[in-house]
Structure 1
Amino acid sequence: MTIRRHPDPVPNGPNFGVLNSGHMTGPVQAAPFSENATQTNQITNEAVDKARDSIADLRRRLEELRGQHPEADRALRDLDMIVPRLDEPAREPGTLRYMLQNLVERCGGIPGLVAAAQLVQSTVVALLPGS
């Protein structure tokens, strides 16, 4: 049996190497040799409203626990830095992801709040461009 060696593909245009199995429901997956692969998120008002609602719920719960847990004040400060960035989530997506991770970690030390913090994280990350 003869084994043929196929040459590596040569890029021939924008988005060359984007793999599509025909059933795409998630972000674009680019092959390692691809160039210029991009993804455009269509952010709806409903998605922004969900993010704001999850933040409002977490804020209310944190304010109730203020004074009982030192991390509650720090988590509220994190929320204060996250909220203004919802108007332009694509401007500093890495910074926003970092802030959200800090928020989840802070709330992890407060009983009953980690799920609410994770909801904030997932609704806000849904607004960010794909990485």
Structure 2
Amino acid sequence: MSYPPAPGRSAVANAVYGLLNPIPFGFFVAALVFDIVYAKTGTILWAKGAAWLIVIGLLFAVIPRLLNLVQVWITSRRFSTGADHVDFWLNVVAIVAAILNAFVHSRDAYAIMPAGVWLSVVTVTLIAAGHVVIAVRYSTAREILHD
């Protein structure tokens, strides 16, 4: 899903953001799937895999959030909308939940349930809600332009 850059935003920063922003979501969804499989099977491999997926997702989440921080709050705050702010804060809270989830996954394998699953659900839900907010904003803006 690509979005046109808002006025006043760097095209390069927008391209890097658009390229890197979906990557953490994929890792966090995979971690959620691994957590659910671990909860059903009890095979420790799934718990360790989920821990790695969460950490890799967090590593990839830093760059888009920093770019978004600069774009929404510093360089183009005149052009940023409420949806941009809501998306930013939903993603920040999701990253905090993922950090807590990484700490939960550092425990012994049997000690991560059910907190690991719930934190994975919260992380994925918050990031998905941020994507929905931005998608609604752009579809509403597109409808206004076509009318």
TM-score for the superposition, normalised by structure 2: 0.41
More helix by share: 2
TM-score for the superposition, normalised by structure 1: 0.45
Choose 1 or 2 for highest CA Rg.
Answer: 1
